């Protein structure tokens, strides 16, 4: 031990020999940590399950359809039927509460495989009852590989007819949303696009006549968009995206705005270091919500109904897994105050241990959840009493 005295201050320097050890050598594959075995995923219940929740809103959760292969999106038809996409390239119909055994006919050729190819999102035209248009995104085969296709067809009650591509671009799994302005918003790679319902470029898009970005681009600087939803009051488009190892976020989209990826991120790279030296940057928009660790955020919806009154105004997102651990998927509820500041979050359905791919509010004012599993299901959340 050495002691150094200067005036009234003393500095004690102690030399201690510590054992050398490593915390853990984590195996990697293709630059990504190999996931642990994770938690055992139990079979989904055969009977409705009642849960108490944080706001005092007791809920009943029922499985209304089983046997779907990696379901990705759901759309509610005016007659009470539901359309569900399967990532494997099939469109399925739920009629009178039963999954119709045969897939819906009329889809184009779809390339499926892995997590970034297949059939993805669904959206109904705002004037669906008149024109019967169903929009969808899919992986399209082309001469030099694949592209992201944005397509539409007319629903005749049994199949899609007159299917046509309205826009072809690059990107993997894509979400769709019709805005209050009647325009179609679609995620593609690191951007969100804004198109007319016919797939044309609106003349008031932020990059029309500019060289910095293609004219179809509405926002950029996104990593991997997995959710789009329209705010029920402001009409703003909300977007969520996966970070790398952490840094999932929800953004409020502004025309022409930059959301920072890959220069800035609130997450770590898969090898462990922080992805970027800073979390904010002049000229880049901050997220309204972020997650660290990652929840592998997926589909998103606002609850605006009266059937679940203590959740009115809340945002719901799906989680595929938490902190890179399999078997930890859930639904997450986020509460905002009147100034749109995040107040609290609640995990729902965590005991089911399912990968949650999408969450939507149905026309019956109940919540519907898609489990992103090989033996996937549609779940319904309703009041318990």
The contacts found for 140-143 with CB under 8 angstroms, 24 or more apart, are 140/108, 140/109, 140/110, 140/111, 140/165, 140/168, 141/109, 141/111, 142/168
Give a yes or no: residue 236 inside a domain: yes
Range of the domain at 173: 49-383
CA distance 202 to 319: 34
Buried b (16+ CB within 10 A) or exposed e, 199-231: bebbeebbbeeeeebbebbbbbbbbbbbbbbbe
Instruction: Please report the pLDDT score of residue 32 as a whole number.
Output: 87
How many CA atoms lie within 13 Å of 343's alpha carbon, on the beta-carbon side? 10
CA distance 194 to 175: 12
* Model pLDDT for residues 57-81, shown as the tens digit of each residue: 999 999 999 999 999 999 999 999 9
Give a yes or no: residue 30 inside a domain: no
Give a yes or no: residue 12 inside a domain: no
Q: 227: closest CA among 282, 125, 276, 295?
A: 295
Q: Residue 5's pLDDT band (boundaries 50, 70, 90)? A: very low
- When the pLDDT of each residue in the chain is averaged and rounded to a whole number, the result is 93
Buried b (16+ CB within 10 A) or exposed e, 54-66: eeebebebebebe
Q: From residue 67, how far is each of 10, 87, 95, 102 by CA, in Å?
A: 72, 13, 15, 12
How much is the average pLDDT of 26-42? 90
* Model pLDDT for residues 120-154, shown as the tens digit of each residue: 999 999 999 999 999 999 999 999 999 999 999 99
Which region among 25-29, 106-110, 163-167, 201-205 has the lowest average model confidence (pLDDT)?
25-29
User: Which CATH number covers residue 203?
Assistant: 2.120.10.30
Give a yes or no: residue 249 inside a domain: yes
How much is the average pLDDT of 11-17? 51
CA distance 107 to 75: 16
* Model pLDDT for residues 241-282, shown as the tens digit of each residue: 999 999 999 999 999 999 999 999 999 999 999 999 999 999
Give a yes or no: residue 233 inside a domain: yes
Domains: count for the chain? 1
Instruction: Please report the pLDDT score of residue 25 as a whole number.
Output: 87
CB-CB neighbours of 347 under 10 Å: 16
Flag whether pLDDT at 177 surpasses 60: yes
């Amino acid at each position: 031990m050495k002691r150094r005295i200067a005036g009234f201050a003393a500095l004690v320097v102690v030399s201690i020999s510590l054992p050398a050890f490593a915390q853990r050598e984590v195996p990697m594959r293709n630059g990504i940590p190999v996931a642990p075995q994770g938690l055992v995923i139990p079979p989904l219940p055969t009977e409705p399950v009642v849960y108490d929740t944080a706001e005092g809103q007791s809920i009943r959760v029922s499985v209304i359809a089983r046997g779907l292969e990696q379901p990705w999106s759901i759309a509610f038809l005016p007659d009470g039927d539901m359309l569900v996409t399967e990532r494997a390239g099939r469109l399925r119909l739920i009629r009178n509460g039963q999954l119709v055994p045969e897939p819906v006919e009329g889809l184009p050729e779809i390339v499926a495989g892995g997590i970034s190819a297949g059939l993805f999102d669904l959206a109904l035209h705002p004037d669906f009852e008149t024109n019967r248009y169903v929009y969808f995104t899919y992986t399209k085969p082309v001469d030099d590989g694949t592209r992201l296709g944005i397509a539409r067809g007319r629903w005749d009650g049994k199949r899609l007819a007159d299917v046509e591509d309205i826009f072809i671009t690059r990107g993997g799994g894509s979400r769709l949303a019709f805005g209050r302005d009647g325009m179609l918003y679609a995620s593609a790679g690191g951007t969100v696009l804004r198109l007319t319902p016919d797939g044309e470029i609106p003349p008031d898009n932020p990059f029309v006549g500019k060289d910095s970005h293609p004219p179809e681009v509405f926002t950029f600087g996104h990593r991997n968009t997995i959710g789009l939803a329209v705010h029920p009051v402001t009409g703003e488009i909300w977007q969520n995206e996966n970070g790398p190892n952490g840094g999932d976020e929800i953004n409020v989209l502004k025309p022409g705005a930059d959301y920072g990826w890959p220069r800035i991120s609130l997450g770590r790279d898969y090898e462990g270091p922080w992805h970027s030296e800073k979390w904010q940057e002049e000229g880049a928009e901050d997220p309204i919500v972020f997650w660290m660790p990652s929840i592998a955020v997926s589909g998103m919806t606002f609850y605006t109904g009266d059937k679940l009154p203590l959740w009115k105004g809340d945002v719901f997102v799906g989680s595929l897994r938490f902190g890179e651990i399999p078997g930890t998927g859930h639904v997450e509820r986020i509460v905002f105050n009147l100034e749109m500041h995040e107040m609290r979050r609640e995990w729902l359905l965590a005991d089911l241990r399912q990968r949650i791919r999408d969450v939507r509010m149905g026309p019956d004012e109940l919540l519907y959840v898609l489990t992103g599993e090989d033996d996937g299901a549609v779940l319904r959340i309703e009041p318990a009493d």
